[in-house]
Structure 1
Amino acid sequence: MRRIRLTGNCSVQTSECDPAIQLAVADLIRDLKKVLGGNPTQVKSGTATIRIGMALGLDSEAWRIRITDRVEIQGGGRLGLIFGIYAFTHRFLGVDPMWFWKGIEPKFKGELELSKCQIDSKPRAFKYRGWFINDEDLLGRWKDSGKQRFSRWPRRRSTEANPDYDFYEKRLLRYYSSIVDANVMSAVFEALLRMECNLVIPASFIDIMNPDEASIVEAAVVRGLYVSQHHVEPLGVSHFGFETWAQELDTSPSFSYRQFPDAMRQCWADYAKRWWEIAGEQIIWQVGLRGRGDRPLWDHDPEAKMRAGEFISGALSDQLEIIHSVESRGQPPATLTLWLEGADLIESGNLSVPDNVTLVFADDDLSQQMRSDFHLLNRSPGQTHGVYYHLAVWSFGAHLVQGASPDKIAKTMSEVLNKGDREYAILNVANVREHVLGISAWSELVSKSEPFNPDDFIHSWVPEGTAELYRSFFAAFPQLRHEWSLHDGCARTFISSLLKYYVDLEALPEIVRMYVVDQNERLRLLLSRAIKAFDGLIERASSLDLEPEDTHDFFQSNFVLQVKILRGLYGVLLELLPSDPDFEQAEEMMVAILEALPLGESGKWSQWYRGDTKVDLKYLQKRLVQAKTTCVVG
């Protein structure tokens, strides 16, 4: 059989000048140098070991790798060629698509012998598929970009001065003010493309009028990705953006479509024009109407509730008209995410959506299973549908600790595929790093129309000899009710509510009271069982001697530390349960979590947890000290 030998002196040739393709070629050369050493080079013409170019007859996102007396990587279009480049690095060089976020470098080989073959990509399971960088508190502060959002928001100073630490908009400023460093976002975009995804919502809030935030969108577009917007930002407008835009008007309209529809339309139009200027045909519009932050429109405007369906329908009509006025495509892609109240309004028949808008069904924020609207809504033949899935979700889901197992992800996505809802798939990935296992499983499911076996996947993906530990970890989550697991966000919410109850004498929220009071003994039993299981996993993990060093470090951060965080939060919650809380023991357990964090901050990950403002472990420890010194129970 004919073979070709690749060495560190190989060359790469392409006539494609597209910046997105050139960036992928640069990544290929970097990968070749890691695996082969030497000095791989890019040449403009002549004989080369690896030739990269377009091929007729392939779909725009399809690729082909042919190995004869040279390596040929072909694509049907820009994205197809980019995907083909990364497919080669993965299949033949052994570069993990998530190498950066796992911290695992490819093995050095010096040279490779490749046999003659041809590999063609498989059809895509979804047309548009990608990640939503949401709740990104760690990403925003890991590497200091020196750039801030909300800096011109007129209510910033008064909000920051609010003495209530948990005031909603004050929390949003705490979570999202830091703009993620450009190099960090570049690593996100590279991983997306390596997983053969084509879409990104690049932040929880993006004000396109702020050049520092617009640069994130520009960078995604340069990489060849489609871009879209958070479902709280129709046409890119959040309440922060609207109020920043409106402060320059004499009338100072409030953020209310009910009261100031003309101002809202003008703001949408100004933002849509700017998004189109930056992203052009790579934009997938988000339409809809929500309130301040990620809340219903009537949360700050109660009079809007009775006519919510009418107002949202009107906003959709206005937004579609604006889209057609600013861009040139005959049928611009636009999505409406049916999150919480949107799903309820559709299900009750109080909201009608034009056929040229893709309806995006969301999973339930507690169970990560599809909501009833997904199962019950009749699909219109003229309308496309998609899915919004959460690996992480605040405030009752996973955040610092991975949540949904590959089995659960595969089951839910199979339901979506079987419904034929294949236009659009977006995944909430939070800070990325904690959720690399779930991200990889989900991305494989949406990018390839191939059978997916969760057991085979997890066995091949995790470090050798650890698959059973991961399976046992996912199986140990306490189930508060059917398919609702007690993730770290939920444990944090329960802990915070109990501390407010003891220290500030606030009433417990009903959903918290249901478990910590009404089902007190059951919750104690669930927590005790999980703690015992996690202690056993930590002991088993301590006996492993994983090599090389980067694999060991990955396992420590992705498994051992996450088990310790969740075990610690369960322990704190158990010690705080009524009616005999032990604040001193709870505080010691919180300190143990903080002392374990360096397991996830070795090497390049130094200061990874300094941005922890959602679970907010240091603040919880401070509150526990306060409870220990001020509360008298009995």
Structure 2
Amino acid sequence: MTATRILTGIALTLAAPLCTYGQVTIYHGANSTPTELAVCADLREDIEKVTGATARITTEPAGITGTDICYLVGTPASSQLLSKMLKNEKPGGDGIIRTTGALTILAGTTVEGMQNTVYEYSRTTLGIDPMYYWTGIAPSKKKLADLRKTQNRIVPAQKVPIVCYFENDVDELANMRKPYLEYDMDTWKGMINSLRRIRYNAIHPFDMLGRPEFYTREPYRQLRPDYKVNLPLVDSMIDYAHLKGMKVQVDLSLGYHMRSISDTEALCWTQYKDKWIETWIYYLTKTPLGKADIYSLRPRNQIWDRAYVSSCGENRVEIFNQVFATLDSLLAIYKPGALKVCTCYDDGMDLFNEGFQPPKDFIVVWADDGYCSFDRMPASTKGYPFGTYMHAGFWTNHTVHDPCPPLIDSIMTFMHQHYDADKYLKVNGQTFRPFLLNLEAFGEWAFDPENFDGEAFYRQWTTRYFGQQASPHAIASMKKLHESHFSRTGYVKKLSDIKKLIGFLSDTKVPTPHGSFTARYNDLEAPGTEQRHALVEAAYKAAAKGLSAGNDFYHDYVYLPALMYWQLLELEKTLLTAAHLKQAFLTNGEKQNIAKAEQLAVKAMQQMKAIDKTCMEGDRNPQWKTWYDPAKRRPNNGFPTTGMITAIQQHLHQLSAR
């Protein structure tokens, strides 16, 4: 049955348009779920934002007349009017959008379909930016008369049934407000609302459950000495995700602050399996984790993100066959009906190819290498429903994104065609805000894998956000930025290289989370340094060309990251040259070399101050003004300081005085 015939039936059922009382009325069914009511509230906010009109929400009547603009929103299960109309036949896809005169019908085949239908209407007809919380891009104003324009279309259903966002490595987000290392609800709601509007229908909280680094690693202990996981907040986060129609996934790893096994217990399942089982049961029965809808596990170390290295001579394949079978049995008791996911990450992929087999009711998820590529493939899917775990952002480029819609297109299509990896998609977005382009690209691919075009998406996305004139400059800049990420190296990885240079030039130990070491001269110049510098410089210059045509979001999303990365690599270039001069002095004793190195240290101080200034000035959008403050940023690989440059100057001066 076509949407036209269906909605003709509605018109006959109502006998007249459903319109009365005030400027805009949103009608919902008497049996609407909390999620449906929440979507109606979103629609009201969208309409009021765009038109300036007042919109009210009320239960559908039996039939009324009027001329004011109104909406009928719901599903056959919640709305008697829609149930009568859809009694014999149902539309395909998620739902239908139909505007005839003053009446707009937004009818979903399911609650999720109804959500997708309403958000599709808000995006395409009202012009609402799904990422408004992050971009600050306000919709153009419309007249109420614009809402009467006739339209009649079916909203297609998403092809990948589960598209899950992984909340991981979120320091900047978690440190927007105190107490540090936990969200305020505004941030969480902003994330959930945006994700749901781009069709992500699941979320996997991790950091907010109390990841082990937060209470064991020294930088975090300094940032928040009294850290304790906020379980009431976790409970509220899960409730809000459910309210907005998202499934919640929880990884049943065993290192959370709420209760953790010890490092000793994590290395021998055979001896300590009772501790593992006891902790799982605690999570499922005594904490908000028991409210999740999807449970996952990796065949790896259950506390740290590394391989499982048995302390008692176990065979890893045999052990994880036992571990997953045991967990499967527990979930059958405590969470019957829950979805189950086995994430094969890093060495976990090798185990799967070597004979590891979780129970057949698990979805097996294959992980990329962090940069939308795979360094190993499944020898066979073994008949499992298959999905992918992908990175919109990775820890080695945590601060500056690697924009790659065309790569997302090619690699996801490859996995879809060769391994039927379309039953599930999880996307790691790191701190979310720097990775909006890739996040939406993954969502668009999952919506229609057969027809997604990465290049076309690139043009559409940049034009939508930056306009026709700035779009080519944005694409040119971001493509160069993508090229610069060769060898899985990004902004954060370069911090590590700079840290070694500082150690060598100041004659100090280089600190790491696992101890310290002495930097060796022969290890200072990373492969591809000159090529990377040239690519990032090209990205920066291309971004600068679009500044006059772009908006504030162009500055914040395109220009600022390219500027920050270029400034960092300029500092690296200066320090590397100084290191060559210091080594030459140590080799031949020529004072002119150390004198030139001292001059470069002065230049490095100027560059370091410029970096600090850029970080502290930050975004034009005042909501994100302190985002790049080094004091609150993720501490992986550290961050250079003027104090470190001073230490270099002092050491070089001591050498010159010999």
TM-score with structure 2 length normalisation?
0.78
Residue among 17, 23, 28 paired with 2:43: 28
Do 2:168 and 2:429's aligned partners in 1 also have CA atoms closer than 8 Å?
Answer: yes
In the alignment, the residues of structure 2 paired with residue 402 and residue 478 of structure 1 have an alpha-carbon distance, to the nearest angstrom, of 8
Which residue does 1:63 correspond to in 2?
Answer: 95
Residue among 376, 379, 383 paired with 1:377: 379
Which residue does 2:56 correspond to in 1?
Answer: 41
Which residue does 2:587 correspond to in 1?
Answer: none
Do 1:209 and 1:271's aligned partners in 2 also have CA atoms closer than 8 Å?
Answer: no
Residue 390 of structure 1 aligns to which amino acid in structure 2? H
Deviations 1:37-91 (A, max 9, x none): 1211112233571000113565998222122241111112221111111111011
Q: Does 1:588 align with 2:606?
A: yes
Deviations 1:468-504 (A, max 9, x none): 22332233248689x5353212212222233344443
Report the identity percentage. 17
Which residue does 1:126 correspond to in 2?
Answer: 160
Residue among 20, 25, 29 paired with 1:11: 25
Structure 1 110/305 Cα, relative in aligned 2: closer, same or farther at 3 Å?
farther
Which residue does 2:489 correspond to in 1?
Answer: 486
Which residue does 1:309 correspond to in 2?
Answer: 317
For residues 420-439 of structure 1, the aligned pairs below 5 Å read 420-439=420-439
Q: Does 1:393 align with 2:361?
A: no
In the alignment, the residues of structure 2 paired with residue 522 and residue 209 of structure 1 have an alpha-carbon distance, to the nearest angstrom, of 43
Q: Does 1:296 align with 2:307?
A: yes
Structure 1 339/499 Cα, relative in aligned 2: closer, same or farther at 3 Å?
farther
Which residue does 1:149 correspond to in 2?
Answer: none
Structure 1 516/562 Cα, relative in aligned 2: closer, same or farther at 3 Å?
farther
Residue 342 of structure 1 aligns to which amino acid in structure 2? G
In the alignment, the residues of structure 1 paired with residue 488 and residue 148 of structure 2 have an alpha-carbon distance, to the nearest angstrom, of 46
Q: Which moved more, 1:10-19 or 1:30-39?
A: 10-19
In the alignment, the residues of structure 1 paired with residue 299 and residue 208 of structure 2 have an alpha-carbon distance, to the nearest angstrom, of 15
In the alignment, the residues of structure 1 paired with residue 655 and residue 304 of structure 2 have an alpha-carbon distance, to the nearest angstrom, of 37
Q: Does 1:625 align with 2:637?
A: no
Which residue does 1:224 correspond to in 2?
Answer: 245
In the alignment, the residues of structure 2 paired with residue 105 and residue 203 of structure 1 have an alpha-carbon distance, to the nearest angstrom, of 31
Which runs of 5 or more residues in structure 1 are unaligned? 147-176, 547-551
Which residue does 1:165 correspond to in 2?
Answer: none
Which residue does 2:625 correspond to in 1?
Answer: 606
In the alignment, the residues of structure 1 paired with residue 373 and residue 604 of structure 2 have an alpha-carbon distance, to the nearest angstrom, of 32
In the alignment, the residues of structure 2 paired with residue 559 and residue 402 of structure 1 have an alpha-carbon distance, to the nearest angstrom, of 10
Structure 1 370/350 Cα, relative in aligned 2: closer, same or farther at 3 Å?
same
In the alignment, the residues of structure 1 paired with residue 281 and residue 619 of structure 2 have an alpha-carbon distance, to the nearest angstrom, of 44
Larger Rg, first or second structure (1 or 2):
2
**Aligned-residue offset at 1:295:** 2.2
In the alignment, the residues of structure 2 paired with residue 266 and residue 333 of structure 1 have an alpha-carbon distance, to the nearest angstrom, of 21
**Aligned-residue offset at 1:537:** 2.1
Do 1:313 and 1:351's aligned partners in 2 also have CA atoms closer than 8 Å?
Answer: yes
Answer 1 or 2: higher relative contact order, Cα 8 Å, separation at least 6. Answer: 1
In the alignment, the residues of structure 2 paired with residue 498 and residue 422 of structure 1 have an alpha-carbon distance, to the nearest angstrom, of 45
The secondary structure found in structure 1 opposite 2:106 is strand
Which residue does 1:334 correspond to in 2?
Answer: 340
In the alignment, the residues of structure 2 paired with residue 68 and residue 528 of structure 1 have an alpha-carbon distance, to the nearest angstrom, of 57
Which residue does 1:573 correspond to in 2?
Answer: 572
In the alignment, the residues of structure 2 paired with residue 379 and residue 515 of structure 1 have an alpha-carbon distance, to the nearest angstrom, of 45
Residue 135 of structure 2 aligns to which amino acid in structure 1? K
Do 1:527 and 1:574's aligned partners in 2 also have CA atoms closer than 8 Å?
Answer: no
Do 1:399 and 1:430's aligned partners in 2 also have CA atoms closer than 8 Å?
Answer: yes
Over aligned residue pairs, what C-alpha RMSD do you find? 3.5
In the alignment, the residues of structure 2 paired with residue 372 and residue 545 of structure 1 have an alpha-carbon distance, to the nearest angstrom, of 43
In the alignment, the residues of structure 2 paired with residue 540 and residue 387 of structure 1 have an alpha-carbon distance, to the nearest angstrom, of 37
Which residue does 2:369 correspond to in 1?
Answer: 364
Structure 1 49/480 Cα, relative in aligned 2: closer, same or farther at 3 Å?
closer
In the alignment, the residues of structure 2 paired with residue 221 and residue 59 of structure 1 have an alpha-carbon distance, to the nearest angstrom, of 26
Greater than 6 Å deviation, 4+ residue runs: 4-8, 252-255, 512-516
Deviations 1:166-214 (A, max 9, x none): xxxxxxxxxxx62111111011111111011111113335159922323
**Aligned-residue offset at 1:533:** 1.3
Do 1:360 and 1:385's aligned partners in 2 also have CA atoms closer than 8 Å?
Answer: yes
In the alignment, the residues of structure 1 paired with residue 237 and residue 112 of structure 2 have an alpha-carbon distance, to the nearest angstrom, of 19
Q: Does 1:78 align with 2:111?
A: yes
Q: Which moved more, 1:353-362 or 1:533-542?
A: 533-542
For residues 179-194 of structure 1, the aligned pairs below 5 Å read 179-194=182-197
Structure 1 305/593 Cα, relative in aligned 2: closer, same or farther at 3 Å?
farther
Residue among 238, 259, 277 paired with 1:265: 277
In the alignment, the residues of structure 2 paired with residue 488 and residue 515 of structure 1 have an alpha-carbon distance, to the nearest angstrom, of 22
**Aligned-residue offset at 1:389:** 0.5
**Aligned-residue offset at 1:378:** 0.9
**Aligned-residue offset at 1:371:** 2.8
In the alignment, the residues of structure 1 paired with residue 638 and residue 511 of structure 2 have an alpha-carbon distance, to the nearest angstrom, of 22
The secondary structure found in structure 2 opposite 1:24 is helix
**Aligned-residue offset at 1:342:** 0.7
**Aligned-residue offset at 1:290:** 1.9
Which runs of 5 or more residues in structure 2 are unaligned? 9-16, 77-85, 211-228, 582-596
**Aligned-residue offset at 1:438:** 1.2
Residue 301 of structure 2 aligns to which amino acid in structure 1? R
Which residue does 1:213 correspond to in 2?
Answer: 234
Do 1:136 and 1:204's aligned partners in 2 also have CA atoms closer than 8 Å?
Answer: yes
Q: How many residues align?
A: 571
Do 1:73 and 1:84's aligned partners in 2 also have CA atoms closer than 8 Å?
Answer: yes
Residue 206 of structure 1 aligns to which amino acid in structure 2? L
Which residue does 1:283 correspond to in 2?
Answer: 294
**Aligned-residue offset at 1:427:** 0.6
